[in-house]
Structure 1
Amino acid sequence: MAMKAVGEGFGQYDVATPDAAGMVASLSSFGYSLEAAVADLVDNSVSADAHTIDVVFTWLGRDSWIAVVDDGTGMTPAELVTAMTVAARGPKTQRSASDLGRFGVGLKSASFSQARQLTVSTATSGVWHTRTWDLDTVERHGEWRLLHGADEETSAVLDELRDRATRGTVVLWRRLNGYHSDAVDGRDEKTQQQFYTEARRTEAHLGMVFARFLRGSRLRLTVASTPVEPWDPFLSNHPSVHRLPVEELPLGTETVRVEGFVLPSAHRLEKDEFERAGGPRGWLDQQGFYVYRRDRLIVAGNWLGLRGLRREEKYALARIAVDIPAETDVEWGVDVRKSSVVPPVGLRGHLRRVARQARRQAEEVLRFRGRIAARTHSGRLVYAWSVRRLDEQVTCRINRSHPLVRAALRPGAERKDVHALLRLLEETVPVITLRTMHETDSGDDPEPFGGAGPADADATAIARRIYEALVLEGYSPADARERVRTYPPFDQLQGFWS
């Protein structure tokens, strides 16, 4: 670190220039994952009004490379040098409404975390300008030597990526961390598989982070030639999603928009819908707040460290969208990687209240599989099992008031009633309720009689016995069918009662 004393007396000061090698090491250690680093580059493309962005993964063993290519407005030579300079624009720099940047270090810190060589080539009207950061050169000379142009191999790659385009920007990473090693062989299928697994993970991450941009024709984004599909964490168009009222929370002169969603349980989703709704990290880890800044997702599924809120399986269906203005970055503590926030003190109580409401309703959906609202007009619910928690002790008993149980216990009960009861008990073991009370995690819940849809012969036979038992107890045929229709699991099946 070079120092130069300036002035005299109390006003004297030292100009302390950071050591180039030390600064490189610091920027390389920001903790970016590969997918988060690529997302930072895509931010720049979106800010440059790009309509098409291609993320290219090319496997060449130790010479493998990754590039982000866009058709945005491009940069002049002066703008390119500014973009390549660390922190050339601070967080207080005036930015356009579409600019997703914050600190002016994203391109460099994201790139240095993944590669030893960063090359950017850009054009505004047919003439391409290129600059390169070679970290070996910076460390060897101890200076921020931003190289003009690119070496021969890199230039060949750039020519391929630009493909006669007259404007846009190419960001190219070479000498990738973890791959640029003599131990990596281009014929190593295991390492190659790992490389393209990271590409698929990046694709899923970008589909989540830039979902709002990908809807409609606003943006076209590909990863390894595969179109990125937007991932909607709230299943906004599904008819069984419960939306909480939108709240507009004041923060200084700005407004924070908050909307809670309670997703439907698995039996109301097709198999592929359920798997996709789980998101890149799975149902348990995707619950919580989703914080957006200028439509770009910052936090994906997190309770933001709010007191009394922790990730639990029974709240897996609760997701809350929070839109924060970029002007409130300081209040929210948006970090360099744009991957974490700290809620402002004045909003924490409101956020906690919305979260508790969403969590409470999510727990009810999980416990009763969304049946409560449909049955409130049908009188007291009758389940074959009764699960209770008393003094921290969970008990599970057969409900003796269930009509089929009463029929089976009646003196001289017919064998078919007993067999029907046994099958009903087998198919309605209260796994969901027990798991919720115990707060355990399992994805293997049985669906009674195979799940929602037309009832099979077994289910129909049991429903028939319940119907006949109700008629014997004095119910009219119509009332008996109505009550069968409200009994689990027949409320989710189709048959003579529906």
Structure 2
Amino acid sequence: MTYDIAAPEPAGMVASLSSLGYSLPAAVADLVDNSISAKASNIDVEFTWAGRDSWIAVVDDGEGMTASQLVTAMTVAARGPATPRSATDLGRFGVGLKSASFSQARQLTVATATSGEWHVRTWDLDIIEKFGEWRLLHGADEATAELLDRIRGTAAHGTVVLWRRLNGYRVDSVTEDDERTQKQFYAEAARAESHLGMVFARFLTGSRRRTIRVSGTPVEAWDPFLSRHPSVQPLPVEELPLGASSVRVEAFVLPSAQRLSQAEYEKAAGPRGWLDQQGFYVYRRDRLILAGDWLGQRGVRREEKYNLARISVDIPADTDAEWGVDVRKSSVVPPVGLRPHLRRIALQARRRAADVLRYRGQIAARTHGDPLLYAWNVRRTDDQVTCRINRGHPLVKAALRPSGASPDDIRALVRLLEETVPVTALRVMHETDTSDDPEPFGGRGPADAGAMEVAQRIYEALVSDGRSPAAARERLRSMPPFDQIHGFWSG
């Protein structure tokens, strides 16, 4: 066998790793993975603003590393997917620390200790590009060393990962008193806090509880399934076989807004909002990999009426390859054999979620003794959505009295109609694949008696307001919905 050694050029490899598409919150989460794998009980993420010299650090009280372990950890892909890992190890490809860090900073320094003796190594991308070699520097420059001393304090074990020369902040226009950029910097910290609460929720509660803080603020776990709320509807748990393992799937239908307090409703929306948080939540070793996605299933899209459907999926770590878990641990592709089952579970959860919205009281009339009267009635019949003012409502009855309505009644009714436009009902009733929009007065055909009566009243109002009969007719012809009715008022 003849061959060539075709080693990747360091600067090109660094550029590739830097361009994997990490957001800052996702990059920080990759570092927290390592802290959890190291059995840390306390993990601190520090964001410190200093203009062009701003920095971010992840500090833990885990087991730490020896000098040789540190070099291995700093080596790109030193441990591949096939490398045996402990049950607490959240890594897979051996590039998370480096790829996440290179995507956010030009300088990565790691300090670690197992029993009092600290070891320090630094990747400086300027050095790699200048010499074209993977020169892993011993120690750190003076400014970085001072920072490390301040951050680790008197700790005898643990790890500090420090990012300096942050991407996006190393420009001449960024100064320490740049309030706009400073606000942006700390907004990223807030987003990181929300992201960590979602990704590591299972590690922030229960018997294996860890404490994660962002700039001193404890991260609060976010439960996408509201699993402790009494109005949540859990569907039966299913164990789907996959090789020698099984995949645990549990669907939840969340309560409607009427059964949640305002604070509960806002929190349940999640970091990305109700629409983007519906769907599957895929966990690997209790770490959230994918949050709110329908896994690319044909015809299964995000729609408002399915906002309450969320499905937990726990995949065994040894099936990473079958699920196509990517380097960033942010996307998966389900195994072919499981897709029909996941689709079945998804459709069932979506139907139940739509039912909760459809029949929650604002949309369909319910009877509990006396009828509950709403200002609007929204119905779907014969593949057509209709929206009508409820003529049984007390204010509507008052406005339609033969003796005439008082101005106060009319004003109150107009205000009520403005405040209760049935947007949610129309969203839920509407089917995206059909042309079922309500059509005024039956559509574009000839005007019926109802249309003529309404038009006559508008015409008389225009004339009494000072328009000539011809001008009133012309205005009426261009006024929706009469502009869409064939031959209307052409005489």
TM over 0.5, shorter chain: yes
CA distance in 2: counterparts of 1:221 and 1:162, whole angstroms: 16
2:267 matches 1:281:
no
Q: State the shift of 1:362 in Å.
A: 1.1
Change (3 A) 1:370 1:86: farther
Counterpart code for 1:124: T
Map of 2:46 onto structure 1 = 56
Q: Deviations over 1:7-56 (max 9, x none)?
A: xxxx1111111101111111111100000000000000000000000000
Unaligned runs of 5+ in 2: 433-491
Change (3 A) 1:407 1:85: closer
Question: Which of 152, 164, 169 does residue 174 from structure 1 map onto?
Answer: 164
CA distance in 2: counterparts of 1:19 and 1:295, whole angstroms: 37
* TM-score of the two chains, using structure 1 as the length reference: 0.80
Map of 1:355 onto structure 2 = 346
Map of 1:120 onto structure 2 = 110
Counterpart code for 2:97: L
Map of 2:120 onto structure 1 = 130
Contact 1:264 1:370 in 2 (8 A): no
CA distance in 2: counterparts of 1:194 and 1:76, whole angstroms: 37
Map of 1:495 onto structure 2 = none
Q: Deviations over 1:196-233 (max 9, x none)?
A: 01000000000000000001461000001111000011
CA distance in 2: counterparts of 1:381 and 1:185, whole angstroms: 61
Counterpart code for 2:65: M
2:256 matches 1:265:
yes
2:138 matches 1:148:
yes
Q: Deviations over 1:426-457 (max 9, x none)?
A: 486544322222379xxxxxxxxxxxxxxxxx
Change (3 A) 1:406 1:164: closer
Q: Deviations over 1:266-325 (max 9, x none)?
A: 121111111111111111111111100000000011111011111111111111111111
Tell me the secondary structure at the aligned position of residue 53 of structure 2.
Answer: coil
Counterpart code for 1:183: S
Contact 1:314 1:439 in 2 (8 A): no
2:47 matches 1:93:
no
2:430 matches 1:438:
yes
Superposed counterparts of 1:95-494, under 5 Å:
95-216=85-206, 218-369=209-360, 385-390=376-381, 392-398=383-389, 426=417, 430-438=422-430
Map of 1:32 onto structure 2 = 22
CA distance in 1: counterparts of 2:393 and 2:30, whole angstroms: 62
Change (3 A) 1:419 1:357: farther
CA distance in 2: counterparts of 1:45 and 1:364, whole angstroms: 43
Give the percent of matched residue pairs that are identical in Structure 1 and Structure 2. Answer: 72
* TM-score of the two chains, using structure 2 as the length reference: 0.81
Change (3 A) 1:308 1:94: same
Change (3 A) 1:185 1:384: closer
CA distance in 2: counterparts of 1:225 and 1:85, whole angstroms: 31
Change (3 A) 1:379 1:408: closer
Q: State the shift of 1:385 in Å.
A: 4.7
Q: Deviations over 1:359-395 (max 9, x none)?
A: 1111111122279999799899987754333455321
CA distance in 1: counterparts of 2:81 and 2:403, whole angstroms: 79
Contact 2:104 2:167 in 1 (8 A): yes
Unaligned runs of 5+ in 1: 1-10, 441-498
Counterpart code for 1:92: A
Contact 2:390 2:396 in 1 (8 A): no
CA distance in 1: counterparts of 2:231 and 2:256, whole angstroms: 9
CA distance in 1: counterparts of 2:400 and 2:141, whole angstroms: 90
Counterpart code for 2:277: Q
Counterpart code for 1:337: R
Counterpart code for 1:434: L
Change (3 A) 1:62 1:411: closer
Contact 1:386 1:396 in 2 (8 A): yes
Larger displacement relative to structure 2 (216-225 or 116-125): 216-225
Q: State the shift of 1:183 in Å.
A: 2.0
Counterpart code for 2:2: Q
Tell me the secondary structure at the aligned position of residue 285 of structure 1.
Answer: helix
CA distance in 2: counterparts of 1:69 and 1:52, whole angstroms: 8
Change (3 A) 1:227 1:14: same
Tell me the secondary structure at the aligned position of residue 57 of structure 1.
Answer: strand
Contact 2:363 2:377 in 1 (8 A): no
Change (3 A) 1:331 1:374: farther
CA distance in 1: counterparts of 2:5 and 2:315, whole angstroms: 38
Map of 1:456 onto structure 2 = none
Contact 1:52 1:220 in 2 (8 A): yes
CA distance in 2: counterparts of 1:89 and 1:370, whole angstroms: 56
Change (3 A) 1:239 1:376: farther
Q: State the shift of 1:425 in Å.
A: 7.6
Counterpart code for 2:379: R
Q: State the shift of 1:264 in Å.
A: 1.0
Change (3 A) 1:166 1:394: same
Counterpart code for 1:436: V
CA distance in 2: counterparts of 1:411 and 1:80, whole angstroms: 84
CA distance in 2: counterparts of 1:429 and 1:233, whole angstroms: 29
CA distance in 2: counterparts of 1:107 and 1:238, whole angstroms: 37
Larger displacement relative to structure 2 (208-217 or 253-262): 208-217
CA distance in 1: counterparts of 2:194 and 2:370, whole angstroms: 46
Q: State the shift of 1:414 in Å.
A: 12
Aligned residues: 428
Change (3 A) 1:153 1:262: same
Tell me the secondary structure at the aligned position of residue 157 of structure 1.
Answer: helix
Map of 1:464 onto structure 2 = none
Counterpart code for 2:261: E
Change (3 A) 1:414 1:216: farther
